[in-house]
Chains A and B, each alone.
Chain A
Protein backbone atom coordinates (compact mmCIF):
# COMPACT_ATOMS: atom_id res chain seq x y z
CA UNK A 1 0.00 0.00 0.00
CA UNK A 2 2.72 2.43 1.01
CA UNK A 3 4.76 1.74 -2.13
CA UNK A 4 1.69 2.25 -4.28
CA UNK A 5 0.97 5.61 -2.68
CA UNK A 6 4.60 6.71 -2.96
CA UNK A 7 4.56 5.75 -6.64
CA UNK A 8 1.60 7.98 -7.49
CA UNK A 9 2.66 10.55 -10.06
CA UNK A 10 3.59 14.11 -9.28
CA UNK A 11 1.07 16.61 -10.63
CA UNK A 12 1.68 19.76 -12.62
CA UNK A 13 0.45 22.90 -10.90
CA UNK A 14 -2.21 24.85 -12.78
CA UNK A 15 -1.12 27.97 -14.68
CA UNK A 16 -1.43 31.42 -13.17
CA UNK A 17 -0.91 30.51 -9.52
CA UNK A 18 2.53 32.10 -9.32
CA UNK A 19 1.25 35.41 -10.66
CA UNK A 20 -1.62 35.40 -8.17
CA UNK A 21 0.72 34.50 -5.32
CA UNK A 22 3.00 37.40 -6.22
CA UNK A 23 0.10 39.82 -6.41
CA UNK A 24 -1.25 38.63 -3.04
CA UNK A 25 2.17 38.83 -1.40
CA UNK A 26 2.69 42.37 -2.68
CA UNK A 27 -0.79 43.59 -1.75
CA UNK A 28 -0.79 46.11 1.14
CA UNK A 29 -1.77 44.52 4.42
CA UNK A 30 -3.51 46.11 7.40
CA UNK A 31 -1.26 46.80 10.42
CA UNK A 32 -1.35 44.65 13.54
CA UNK A 33 -4.74 44.69 15.27
CA UNK A 34 -5.42 45.07 18.91
CA UNK A 35 -7.07 41.80 19.77
CA UNK A 36 -6.33 41.29 23.47
CA UNK A 37 -9.58 42.83 24.66
CA UNK A 38 -11.55 40.87 22.08
CA UNK A 39 -9.93 37.55 23.00
CA UNK A 40 -10.54 38.18 26.69
CA UNK A 41 -14.21 38.99 26.01
CA UNK A 42 -14.65 35.84 23.94
CA UNK A 43 -13.13 33.68 26.65
CA UNK A 44 -15.16 35.18 29.45
CA UNK A 45 -18.80 34.25 28.74
CA UNK A 46 -20.11 32.33 25.76
CA UNK A 47 -23.56 33.87 25.99
CA UNK A 48 -22.24 37.36 25.14
CA UNK A 49 -21.21 36.32 21.62
CA UNK A 50 -23.07 39.19 20.05
CA UNK A 51 -21.43 41.75 22.34
CA UNK A 52 -18.02 40.23 21.64
CA UNK A 53 -18.45 40.45 17.88
CA UNK A 54 -19.56 44.06 18.09
CA UNK A 55 -16.05 44.97 19.28
CA UNK A 56 -14.32 43.21 16.39
CA UNK A 57 -13.17 44.63 13.09
CA UNK A 58 -15.29 43.47 10.20
CA UNK A 59 -12.57 41.48 8.53
CA UNK A 60 -10.14 40.03 11.03
CA UNK A 61 -6.73 39.48 9.43
CA UNK A 62 -4.10 37.09 10.67
CA UNK A 63 -0.89 38.91 11.57
CA UNK A 64 1.84 37.72 9.32
CA UNK A 65 4.58 37.08 11.80
CA UNK A 66 3.13 37.07 15.27
CA UNK A 67 1.12 34.59 17.21
CA UNK A 68 -1.70 35.89 19.30
CA UNK A 69 -1.21 34.86 22.90
CA UNK A 70 -4.70 34.38 24.20
CA UNK A 71 -3.97 34.32 27.89
CA UNK A 72 -7.46 34.19 29.35
CA UNK A 73 -7.33 35.70 32.80
CA UNK A 74 -8.58 33.92 35.94
CA UNK A 75 -9.55 30.70 34.19
CA UNK A 76 -8.60 27.31 35.53
CA UNK A 77 -6.08 25.58 33.31
CA UNK A 78 -7.63 22.66 31.45
CA UNK A 79 -5.39 19.74 30.45
CA UNK A 80 -4.27 20.05 26.83
CA UNK A 81 -5.75 16.71 25.77
CA UNK A 82 -9.09 17.66 27.32
CA UNK A 83 -9.12 20.86 25.24
CA UNK A 84 -8.52 18.88 22.06
CA UNK A 85 -11.24 16.39 22.95
CA UNK A 86 -13.71 19.15 23.79
CA UNK A 87 -12.94 20.90 20.51
CA UNK A 88 -13.52 17.67 18.58
CA UNK A 89 -16.79 17.03 20.47
CA UNK A 90 -18.07 20.55 19.71
CA UNK A 91 -17.22 20.09 16.03
CA UNK A 92 -19.28 16.92 15.95
CA UNK A 93 -22.13 18.66 17.76
CA UNK A 94 -22.09 21.53 15.28
CA UNK A 95 -21.93 19.16 12.33
CA UNK A 96 -25.09 17.48 13.58
CA UNK A 97 -27.07 20.67 14.19
CA UNK A 98 -29.54 21.62 11.49
CA UNK A 99 -28.90 24.84 9.62
CA UNK A 100 -31.84 27.18 9.61
CA UNK A 101 -32.56 28.16 6.01
CA UNK A 102 -33.69 31.72 6.85
CA UNK A 103 -32.68 33.75 9.87
CA UNK A 104 -32.45 37.32 11.02
CA UNK A 105 -29.61 39.28 9.47
CA UNK A 106 -28.07 40.03 12.86
CA UNK A 107 -28.02 36.33 13.76
CA UNK A 108 -26.46 35.43 10.42
CA UNK A 109 -23.85 38.14 10.93
CA UNK A 110 -23.09 36.84 14.43
CA UNK A 111 -22.66 33.29 13.16
CA UNK A 112 -20.49 34.42 10.25
CA UNK A 113 -18.37 36.52 12.60
CA UNK A 114 -17.82 33.60 14.96
CA UNK A 115 -16.92 31.31 12.08
CA UNK A 116 -14.47 33.87 10.71
CA UNK A 117 -12.90 34.17 14.13
CA UNK A 118 -12.60 30.40 14.45
CA UNK A 119 -10.93 30.23 11.04
CA UNK A 120 -8.53 32.95 12.22
CA UNK A 121 -7.66 30.97 15.37
CA UNK A 122 -7.19 27.86 13.24
CA UNK A 123 -4.63 29.74 11.20
CA UNK A 124 -2.84 30.69 14.39
CA UNK A 125 -2.92 27.07 15.54
CA UNK A 126 -1.38 25.93 12.28
CA UNK A 127 1.36 28.54 12.68
CA UNK A 128 1.92 27.50 16.30
CA UNK A 129 2.24 23.84 15.36
CA UNK A 130 4.87 24.47 12.71
CA UNK A 131 6.98 27.06 14.50
CA UNK A 132 7.32 25.46 17.95
CA UNK A 133 5.30 28.01 19.82
CA UNK A 134 5.37 27.22 23.58
CA UNK A 135 2.77 24.83 24.93
CA UNK A 136 1.14 27.47 27.14
CA UNK A 137 0.38 29.64 24.12
CA UNK A 138 -0.99 26.71 22.16
CA UNK A 139 -3.23 25.86 25.12
CA UNK A 140 -4.48 29.44 25.16
CA UNK A 141 -5.32 29.25 21.45
CA UNK A 142 -7.16 25.97 21.90
CA UNK A 143 -9.01 27.46 24.88
CA UNK A 144 -10.14 30.32 22.70
CA UNK A 145 -11.20 27.90 19.98
CA UNK A 146 -13.33 25.95 22.46
CA UNK A 147 -14.89 29.18 23.78
CA UNK A 148 -15.73 30.38 20.27
CA UNK A 149 -17.24 27.06 19.32
CA UNK A 150 -19.29 27.02 22.51
CA UNK A 151 -20.57 30.47 21.56
CA UNK A 152 -21.39 29.22 18.06
CA UNK A 153 -23.30 26.26 19.47
CA UNK A 154 -25.31 28.59 21.70
CA UNK A 155 -26.18 30.97 18.86
CA UNK A 156 -27.05 28.16 16.44
CA UNK A 157 -29.16 26.44 19.08
CA UNK A 158 -30.97 29.68 19.96
CA UNK A 159 -31.59 30.32 16.27
CA UNK A 160 -32.99 26.82 15.79
CA UNK A 161 -35.27 27.21 18.83
CA UNK A 162 -36.57 30.51 17.44
CA UNK A 163 -37.34 28.76 14.16
CA UNK A 164 -39.36 26.11 15.99
CA UNK A 165 -41.35 28.78 17.89
CA UNK A 166 -42.09 30.69 14.67
CA UNK A 167 -43.36 27.58 12.99
Chain B
Protein backbone atom coordinates (compact mmCIF):
# COMPACT_ATOMS: atom_id res chain seq x y z
CA UNK B 1 0.00 0.00 0.00
CA UNK B 2 1.29 3.44 -0.88
CA UNK B 3 -0.75 6.62 -1.16
CA UNK B 4 -0.42 10.38 -0.77
CA UNK B 5 -3.19 12.56 0.60
CA UNK B 6 -3.56 16.06 1.97
CA UNK B 7 -3.45 16.16 5.74
CA UNK B 8 -6.75 18.05 5.91
CA UNK B 9 -8.60 15.54 3.73
CA UNK B 10 -7.29 12.65 5.77
CA UNK B 11 -8.16 14.33 9.05
CA UNK B 12 -11.67 15.16 7.86
CA UNK B 13 -12.40 11.59 6.76
CA UNK B 14 -10.97 10.06 9.90
CA UNK B 15 -12.95 12.44 12.10
CA UNK B 16 -16.16 11.37 10.42
CA UNK B 17 -15.85 7.75 11.47
CA UNK B 18 -13.87 8.06 14.70
CA UNK B 19 -16.88 8.23 17.02
CA UNK B 20 -18.09 4.82 15.92
CA UNK B 21 -15.11 3.28 17.72
CA UNK B 22 -16.45 1.86 20.99
CA UNK B 23 -15.13 3.28 24.24
CA UNK B 24 -14.92 -0.15 25.77
CA UNK B 25 -14.82 -3.45 23.99
CA UNK B 26 -13.61 -6.96 24.53
CA UNK B 27 -12.77 -7.18 20.83
CA UNK B 28 -9.46 -5.34 20.42
CA UNK B 29 -9.65 -4.88 16.67
CA UNK B 30 -12.64 -2.57 17.11
CA UNK B 31 -10.28 0.10 18.47
CA UNK B 32 -8.77 0.21 14.96
CA UNK B 33 -9.97 1.74 11.73
CA UNK B 34 -9.45 0.03 8.41
CA UNK B 35 -7.62 2.08 5.76
CA UNK B 36 -8.25 1.02 2.17
CA UNK B 37 -6.36 2.65 -0.72
CA UNK B 38 -7.76 1.83 -4.12
CA UNK B 39 -8.52 3.58 -7.41
CA UNK B 40 -7.44 7.06 -6.36
CA UNK B 41 -9.52 6.87 -3.24
CA UNK B 42 -8.85 6.42 0.46
CA UNK B 43 -11.63 4.72 2.41
CA UNK B 44 -11.67 4.59 6.18
CA UNK B 45 -13.97 2.16 8.00
CA UNK B 46 -14.85 2.00 11.71
CA UNK B 47 -17.26 -0.38 13.39
CA UNK B 48 -18.55 -1.43 16.79
CA UNK B 49 -20.26 -4.47 15.23
CA UNK B 50 -23.64 -2.75 15.58
CA UNK B 51 -22.81 0.28 13.50
CA UNK B 52 -20.33 0.51 10.67
CA UNK B 53 -19.36 3.76 9.04
CA UNK B 54 -17.33 4.24 5.86
CA UNK B 55 -16.00 7.60 4.72
CA UNK B 56 -13.78 8.44 1.80
CA UNK B 57 -11.75 11.11 0.02
CA UNK B 58 -9.77 11.16 -3.18
CA UNK B 59 -6.04 10.70 -2.97
CA UNK B 60 -3.07 9.62 -5.02
CA UNK B 61 -2.69 5.84 -4.90
CA UNK B 62 0.55 4.44 -6.27
CA UNK B 63 0.04 1.00 -4.76
CA UNK B 64 -3.32 -0.41 -3.65
CA UNK B 65 -3.71 -2.09 -0.28
CA UNK B 66 -5.31 -1.96 3.13
CA UNK B 67 -4.41 -2.20 6.80
CA UNK B 68 -6.05 -1.79 10.22
CA UNK B 69 -4.61 1.00 12.41
CA UNK B 70 -5.45 2.07 15.99
CA UNK B 71 -8.02 4.79 15.36
CA UNK B 72 -7.69 7.22 18.25
CA UNK B 73 -3.88 7.12 18.00
CA UNK B 74 -4.00 7.83 14.29
CA UNK B 75 -6.32 10.76 14.88
CA UNK B 76 -3.95 12.19 17.52
CA UNK B 77 -1.02 11.85 15.09
CA UNK B 78 -2.75 13.41 12.13
CA UNK B 79 -4.07 16.29 14.23
CA UNK B 80 -0.49 17.37 14.95
CA UNK B 81 0.68 17.09 11.34
CA UNK B 82 1.43 20.16 9.19
CA UNK B 83 -1.14 21.09 6.56
CA UNK B 84 0.70 19.45 3.71
CA UNK B 85 0.61 16.18 1.86
CA UNK B 86 1.18 12.98 3.81
CA UNK B 87 2.45 9.76 2.28
CA UNK B 88 1.47 6.39 3.76
CA UNK B 89 3.33 3.13 3.07
CA UNK B 90 3.23 -0.28 4.66
CA UNK B 91 5.81 -3.05 4.70
CA UNK B 92 5.34 -6.80 4.91
CA UNK B 93 5.52 -6.68 8.75
CA UNK B 94 2.41 -4.52 8.95
CA UNK B 95 4.41 -1.41 9.85
CA UNK B 96 2.96 1.85 8.62
CA UNK B 97 5.31 4.63 7.57
CA UNK B 98 3.94 8.16 7.40
CA UNK B 99 5.99 10.83 5.68
CA UNK B 100 5.35 14.53 6.16
CA UNK B 101 7.43 17.57 5.33
CA UNK B 102 8.81 17.38 8.87
CA UNK B 103 9.92 13.80 8.96
CA UNK B 104 8.98 10.17 9.07
CA UNK B 105 6.85 8.24 11.58
CA UNK B 106 6.33 4.57 12.05
CA UNK B 107 3.58 2.65 13.83
CA UNK B 108 2.21 -0.88 13.91
CA UNK B 109 -0.94 -2.02 12.17
CA UNK B 110 -2.93 -5.22 11.96
CA UNK B 111 -3.86 -7.41 9.05
CA UNK B 112 -7.00 -6.26 7.22
CA UNK B 113 -8.45 -9.74 7.59
CA UNK B 114 -8.70 -9.21 11.34
CA UNK B 115 -11.16 -6.40 10.74
CA UNK B 116 -14.88 -7.27 10.73
CA UNK B 117 -16.46 -7.24 7.31
CA UNK B 118 -18.90 -4.57 6.27
CA UNK B 119 -22.51 -5.84 6.30
CA UNK B 120 -24.11 -6.56 2.96
CA UNK B 121 -27.35 -4.69 2.50
CA UNK B 122 -29.03 -6.41 -0.40
CA UNK B 123 -32.51 -5.06 -0.75
CA UNK B 124 -35.15 -3.60 -2.98
CA UNK B 125 -36.47 -1.55 -0.08
CA UNK B 126 -35.34 2.03 -0.51
CA UNK B 127 -36.83 5.24 0.73
CA UNK B 128 -35.87 8.83 0.28
CA UNK B 129 -36.27 11.59 2.85
CA UNK B 130 -35.40 15.26 2.80
CA UNK B 131 -32.39 15.98 4.99
CA UNK B 132 -34.18 18.74 6.84
CA UNK B 133 -37.10 16.44 7.59
CA UNK B 134 -34.97 13.49 8.68
CA UNK B 135 -32.74 15.59 10.91
CA UNK B 136 -35.72 17.30 12.49
CA UNK B 137 -37.42 13.99 13.20
CA UNK B 138 -34.31 12.46 14.72
CA UNK B 139 -33.80 15.44 17.00
CA UNK B 140 -37.40 15.32 18.17
CA UNK B 141 -37.37 11.64 19.04
CA UNK B 142 -34.08 10.26 20.32
CA UNK B 143 -34.18 12.06 23.67
CA UNK B 144 -37.20 9.99 24.67
CA UNK B 145 -35.58 6.60 24.04
CA UNK B 146 -34.78 4.28 26.90
CA UNK B 147 -31.18 3.59 27.89
CA UNK B 148 -32.12 0.40 29.69
CA UNK B 149 -31.06 -2.72 27.83
CA UNK B 150 -33.64 -4.85 29.57
CA UNK B 151 -36.17 -3.74 26.99
CA UNK B 152 -34.03 -3.52 23.86
CA UNK B 153 -36.87 -2.38 21.61
CA UNK B 154 -37.22 0.85 23.59
CA UNK B 155 -33.53 1.74 23.15
CA UNK B 156 -34.22 2.51 19.49
CA UNK B 157 -36.57 4.66 17.46
CA UNK B 158 -39.53 2.87 15.94
CA UNK B 159 -39.90 3.90 12.27
CA UNK B 160 -43.02 3.18 10.29
CA UNK B 161 -42.75 3.45 6.55
CA UNK B 162 -46.20 3.84 5.07
CA UNK B 163 -47.48 4.76 1.65
CA UNK B 164 -47.71 8.49 2.11
CA UNK B 165 -46.37 9.07 5.55
CA UNK B 166 -43.27 8.30 7.52
CA UNK B 167 -43.44 8.05 11.31
CA UNK B 168 -40.89 7.94 14.05
CA UNK B 169 -41.81 6.95 17.61
CA UNK B 170 -39.67 6.88 20.74
CA UNK B 171 -40.56 6.00 24.32
CA UNK B 172 -38.97 4.84 27.54
CA UNK B 173 -42.28 3.98 29.16
CA UNK B 174 -42.56 7.31 30.98
CA UNK B 175 -42.76 9.62 28.00
CA UNK B 176 -43.40 9.10 24.35
CA UNK B 177 -42.90 11.08 21.15
CA UNK B 178 -44.67 10.42 17.90
CA UNK B 179 -43.78 12.46 14.84
CA UNK B 180 -45.28 12.00 11.40
CA UNK B 181 -44.23 13.61 8.14
CA UNK B 182 -46.54 13.70 5.16
CA UNK B 183 -43.72 15.09 3.04
CA UNK B 184 -43.04 11.54 1.95
CA UNK B 185 -44.10 9.14 -0.70
CA UNK B 186 -43.40 5.47 -1.07
CA UNK B 187 -45.81 3.32 -2.99
CA UNK B 188 -43.53 0.30 -3.12
CA UNK B 189 -43.74 -1.24 0.31
CA UNK B 190 -44.63 -0.66 3.95
CA UNK B 191 -42.42 -1.67 6.81
CA UNK B 192 -41.79 -1.18 10.53
CA UNK B 193 -38.23 -1.12 11.82
CA UNK B 194 -36.39 -0.14 15.01
CA UNK B 195 -33.18 1.85 14.51
CA UNK B 196 -30.67 2.08 17.38
CA UNK B 197 -30.33 5.59 18.83
CA UNK B 198 -26.57 5.63 18.37
CA UNK B 199 -26.92 5.13 14.62
CA UNK B 200 -29.42 7.97 14.35
CA UNK B 201 -27.07 10.20 16.27
CA UNK B 202 -24.35 9.57 13.69
CA UNK B 203 -26.76 10.11 10.85
CA UNK B 204 -27.94 13.44 12.26
CA UNK B 205 -24.33 14.52 12.70
CA UNK B 206 -23.39 13.67 9.12
CA UNK B 207 -26.46 14.97 7.34
CA UNK B 208 -25.83 17.96 5.09
CA UNK B 209 -28.30 20.81 5.39
CA UNK B 210 -29.57 20.56 1.84
CA UNK B 211 -30.79 17.75 -0.39
CA UNK B 212 -32.29 14.41 0.40
CA UNK B 213 -30.99 11.06 1.45
CA UNK B 214 -31.39 7.48 0.28
CA UNK B 215 -32.04 4.90 2.94
CA UNK B 216 -31.80 1.17 2.19
CA UNK B 217 -33.47 -1.36 4.44
CA UNK B 218 -32.77 -5.07 4.43
CA UNK B 219 -33.94 -7.79 6.76
CA UNK B 220 -31.42 -7.02 9.51
CA UNK B 221 -29.70 -3.80 8.51
CA UNK B 222 -30.27 -0.25 7.46
CA UNK B 223 -27.91 1.77 5.28
CA UNK B 224 -27.81 5.54 5.06
CA UNK B 225 -26.04 6.75 1.92
CA UNK B 226 -24.76 10.19 2.77
CA UNK B 227 -22.33 12.43 0.86
CA UNK B 228 -18.84 10.90 1.14
CA UNK B 229 -19.94 8.51 3.85
CA UNK B 230 -22.15 5.49 4.44
CA UNK B 231 -23.60 4.48 7.78
CA UNK B 232 -24.71 0.90 8.32
CA UNK B 233 -26.60 -0.18 11.36
CA UNK B 234 -28.04 -3.39 12.64
CA UNK B 235 -31.78 -3.14 13.26
CA UNK B 236 -33.29 -4.01 16.63
CA UNK B 237 -35.47 -7.04 16.05
CA UNK B 238 -37.42 -7.16 19.32
CA UNK B 239 -41.14 -6.46 19.09
CA UNK B 240 -42.10 -2.83 19.67
CA UNK B 241 -44.97 -2.27 22.11
CA UNK B 242 -48.32 -1.30 20.71
CA UNK B 243 -47.80 2.40 21.31
CA UNK B 244 -51.04 3.54 19.67
CA UNK B 245 -52.97 1.76 22.36
CA UNK B 246 -51.47 3.88 25.14
CA UNK B 247 -52.15 7.22 23.46
CA UNK B 248 -55.58 8.31 24.63
CA UNK B 249 -57.81 9.20 21.69
CA UNK B 250 -59.61 11.91 23.53
CA UNK B 251 -58.35 13.68 26.61
CA UNK B 252 -61.21 15.97 27.49
CA UNK B 253 -59.45 18.67 29.51
CA UNK B 254 -57.31 21.15 27.68
CA UNK B 255 -54.82 23.73 28.88
CA UNK B 256 -53.25 26.34 26.61
CA UNK B 257 -50.04 27.93 27.75
CA UNK B 258 -47.03 29.89 26.58
CA UNK B 259 -44.19 27.40 26.32
CA UNK B 260 -41.26 29.62 27.32
CA UNK B 261 -43.03 30.92 30.40
CA UNK B 262 -43.97 27.40 31.36
CA UNK B 263 -40.41 26.12 30.88
CA UNK B 264 -38.74 28.84 32.92
CA UNK B 265 -41.25 28.50 35.70
CA UNK B 266 -40.94 24.71 35.92
CA UNK B 267 -37.16 25.05 35.78
CA UNK B 268 -37.05 27.47 38.72
CA UNK B 269 -39.50 25.53 40.82
CA UNK B 270 -37.87 22.17 40.10
CA UNK B 271 -34.66 23.39 41.73
CA UNK B 272 -36.54 23.08 45.00
CA UNK B 273 -37.90 19.60 44.31
CA UNK B 274 -36.68 16.42 45.90
CA UNK B 275 -33.46 15.47 44.08
CA UNK B 276 -34.56 11.84 43.93
CA UNK B 277 -37.95 12.32 42.35
CA UNK B 278 -37.82 15.82 40.77
CA UNK B 279 -41.48 15.93 41.47
CA UNK B 280 -43.37 19.12 40.66
CA UNK B 281 -47.07 19.49 41.21
CA UNK B 282 -49.19 21.37 38.69
CA UNK B 283 -52.50 22.78 39.90
CA UNK B 284 -54.57 23.67 36.87
CA UNK B 285 -57.25 26.31 37.25
CA UNK B 286 -59.34 28.12 34.65
CA UNK B 287 -57.01 31.12 34.25
CA UNK B 288 -53.81 30.09 35.91
CA UNK B 289 -51.54 27.26 36.68
CA UNK B 290 -49.75 26.86 39.96
CA UNK B 291 -46.42 25.06 39.96
CA UNK B 292 -45.24 23.73 43.28
CA UNK B 293 -42.32 21.70 44.55
CA UNK B 294 -41.20 20.67 48.00
CA UNK B 295 -38.22 18.82 49.36
CA UNK B 296 -39.15 17.52 52.77
CA UNK B 297 -35.67 16.18 53.46
CA UNK B 298 -33.97 19.55 53.09
CA UNK B 299 -36.90 21.81 53.84
CA UNK B 300 -36.96 23.57 50.46
CA UNK B 301 -40.18 24.74 48.88
CA UNK B 302 -41.18 26.76 45.80
CA UNK B 303 -44.45 28.04 44.42
CA UNK B 304 -45.18 29.98 41.22
CA UNK B 305 -48.33 30.91 39.39
CA UNK B 306 -48.50 31.77 35.70
CA UNK B 307 -51.33 32.46 33.30
CA UNK B 308 -52.93 29.77 31.20
CA UNK B 309 -56.28 28.79 29.79
CA UNK B 310 -57.86 25.71 31.22
CA UNK B 311 -61.36 24.63 30.28
CA UNK B 312 -62.29 22.38 33.18
CA UNK B 313 -62.63 22.07 36.93
CA UNK B 314 -59.41 22.49 38.92
CA UNK B 315 -57.08 19.51 38.72
CA UNK B 316 -53.78 18.61 40.42
CA UNK B 317 -51.20 16.51 38.60
CA UNK B 318 -47.59 15.76 39.53
CA UNK B 319 -44.75 15.10 37.09
CA UNK B 320 -41.06 14.43 37.09
CA UNK B 321 -39.78 17.92 36.19
CA UNK B 322 -36.95 16.55 34.06
CA UNK B 323 -39.31 14.58 31.88
CA UNK B 324 -41.60 17.56 31.56
CA UNK B 325 -38.78 19.95 30.65
CA UNK B 326 -37.32 17.49 28.13
CA UNK B 327 -40.62 17.39 26.33
CA UNK B 328 -41.27 21.13 26.40
CA UNK B 329 -37.79 21.92 25.10
CA UNK B 330 -38.33 19.63 22.14
CA UNK B 331 -41.43 21.46 20.98
CA UNK B 332 -40.91 24.34 18.57
CA UNK B 333 -44.13 26.28 18.80
CA UNK B 334 -44.61 29.25 21.12
CA UNK B 335 -48.00 28.20 22.40
CA UNK B 336 -48.76 24.64 23.37
CA UNK B 337 -51.75 22.55 24.28
CA UNK B 338 -51.67 20.22 27.26
CA UNK B 339 -54.44 17.63 27.26
CA UNK B 340 -55.25 15.62 30.35
CA UNK B 341 -58.02 13.47 31.71
CA UNK B 342 -57.16 12.73 35.34
CA UNK B 343 -54.24 12.80 37.75
CA UNK B 344 -52.88 9.38 36.90
CA UNK B 345 -53.43 9.12 33.18
CA UNK B 346 -51.09 10.19 30.39
CA UNK B 347 -50.84 13.88 29.50
CA UNK B 348 -50.63 14.82 25.83
CA UNK B 349 -48.60 17.83 24.79
CA UNK B 350 -48.88 19.21 21.25
CA UNK B 351 -48.06 22.49 19.54
CA UNK B 352 -50.95 24.91 19.35
CA UNK B 353 -50.74 24.59 15.60
CA UNK B 354 -48.97 21.78 13.80
CA UNK B 355 -46.36 22.63 11.16
CA UNK B 356 -47.29 22.03 7.57
CA UNK B 357 -47.14 18.37 6.55
CA UNK B 358 -46.14 17.39 10.06
CA UNK B 359 -47.85 15.99 13.12
CA UNK B 360 -46.04 15.83 16.40
CA UNK B 361 -47.39 14.51 19.68
CA UNK B 362 -45.65 14.10 23.00
CA UNK B 363 -46.92 12.19 25.95
CA UNK B 364 -45.89 12.19 29.60
CA UNK B 365 -46.92 9.97 32.49
CA UNK B 366 -47.53 11.60 35.86
CA UNK B 367 -46.08 10.72 39.23
CA UNK B 368 -48.57 9.45 41.73
CA UNK B 369 -48.60 10.64 45.29
CA UNK B 370 -48.79 7.62 47.50
CA UNK B 371 -51.30 7.80 50.23
Q: Do A and B bind each other?
A: no
Residues of B within 8 A of A (CB): none
